[in-house]
């Protein structure tokens, strides 16, 4: 058994040998997880989970799940193998990430379905109403309902477009962009896309700011941030876009509005998919709840950092730090 324990010591997976209900041996990974004191301890004390203890002390072996073994919310799979009448080999596997990803995927599908179901139900309801001769025969009512149908259909179209965009970004998120992109040039071009009533001012401490990037995605980020700032800022105040090249080889891009600001408790969650700080206002403005999630994914693909700061009554600033191209 000494040779067996020597081999277990080199495993990165936490492993225990349990003899007659006591921990006879724990490798370094197990001691790091459960504490150095567990050797010689009753397994019911070492692992305080009834299902896991029942599995270890049982005669057939198998697997079970433990929640919160290392930190709150963590999920571990415990595998027990019978290697003798009173001896068990117990291995512990951290499956927190897999469980979290599966849960996030399920939540994403549920949220996407809900977001699509609402406008679809509205469209179907109005279409059915229009088939009624009384409603469909009245021009004013018909035009009003058709405007609603058009608005809800466009909302669905925007949502599907954002979902496809997010899917494409995630598919290439590990591919480092290689195009030389002048951020100042793209910022000015993007600002020029907005109408004359939408004031977007671009300023910089440089003549150019070149990064290695994906020009289409960078333009998408700036367009999204400028559009958000125009929607939620004050109509009589400009949106300020500033670019600042730092001495340490980074570019700071900030998009600031002068709107009502965002409550502090919402800030950490703004880049979550479908999260809205003000649900009714966001939907009324045509928001899908995916824009900032898309922004975050693109910035991370460009090896940058994205942040949002806000003060109530003073406005909101969305900023990103991007590495400048070397040479």
Domains in the chain (CATH in brackets) are: 2-94 (3.30.450.20), 98-171 (1.10.287.130), 176-327 (3.30.565.10)
Q: What is the pTM of this model?
A: 0.60
Average the pLDDT over 102-116 and give the result. Answer: 72
Is residue 3 over pLDDT 70?
Answer: no
Q: Return the higher-pLDDT residue of 268 and 287.
A: 268
Confidence of residue 167 (pLDDT cuts 50, 70, 90): confident
Can you name the residues that pair with 94 across neighbouring β-strands?
76
Alpha carbon distance 179, 79 (integer Å)? 49
Q: Is the pLDDT of residue 253 over 90?
A: yes
300 Cβ neighbours under 8 A, 6+ residues apart? 173, 306
Question: Residue 68: how many CB atoms within 10 A of its CB?
Answer: 12
> Phi and psi for 138 in degrees, rounded to 5?
-95, 115
- Provide the token pair at 156: 């669905």
Q: What DSSP state is assigned to residue 70?
A: S
- The contacts of residue 257 (CB under 8 Å, 6+ apart) are 228, 229, 230, 232, 233, 234, 237, 239, 240, 315, 316, 317
Let me know: does 78 contact 52? Beta carbons within 8 Å.
Answer: yes
């Amino acid at each position: 058994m000494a040779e067996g324990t020597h081999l277990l010591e080199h495993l990165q997976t936490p492993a225990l040998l349990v003899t007659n209900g006591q921990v006879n041996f724990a490798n370094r990974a197990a001691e790091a997880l459960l504490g150095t004191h567990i050797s010689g301890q009753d397994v019911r004390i070492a692992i305080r989970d009834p299902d896991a203890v029942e599995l270890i002390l049982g005669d057939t072996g198998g697997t079970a799940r433990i929640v919160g073994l290392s930190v709150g919310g963590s999920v571990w799979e415990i595998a027990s193998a019978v290697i003798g009448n009173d001896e068990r080999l117990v291995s512990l596997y951290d499956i927190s990430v897999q469980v979290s990803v599966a849960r996030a995927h399920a939540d994403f599908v549920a949220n996407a379905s809900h977001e699509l179901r609402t406008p679809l139900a509205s469209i179907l309801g109005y279409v059915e109403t229009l088939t009624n001769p009384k409603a469909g025969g009245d021009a004013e009512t018909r035009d009003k309902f058709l405007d609603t149908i058009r608005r809800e259909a466009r909302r669905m179209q925007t949502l599907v477009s954002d979902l496809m965009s997010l899917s494409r970004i995630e598919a290439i998120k590990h591919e480092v962009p290689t195009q030389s992109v002048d951020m100042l040039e793209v910022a000015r071009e993007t600002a020029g896309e907005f109408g004359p009533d939408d004031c977007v001012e671009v300023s910089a401490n440089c003549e150019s700011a070149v990064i290695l990037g994906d020009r289409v995605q960078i333009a998408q980020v700036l367009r999204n941030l400028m559009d958000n700032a125009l929607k939620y800022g004050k109509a009589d105040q400009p949106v300020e876009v500033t670019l600042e090249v730092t001495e340490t080889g980074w570019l700071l891009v900030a998009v600031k509005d002068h709107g009502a600001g965002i409550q502090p408790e919402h800030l950490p969650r703004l880049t979550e998919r479908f999260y809205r700080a003000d649900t009714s206002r966001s939907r009324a403005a045509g928001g899908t709840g995916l824009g900032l999630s898309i922004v975050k994914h693109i910035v991370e693909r460009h090896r940058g950092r994205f942040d949002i700061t806000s003060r109530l009554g003073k406005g909101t600033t969305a900023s990103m730090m991007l590495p400048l191209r070397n040479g």
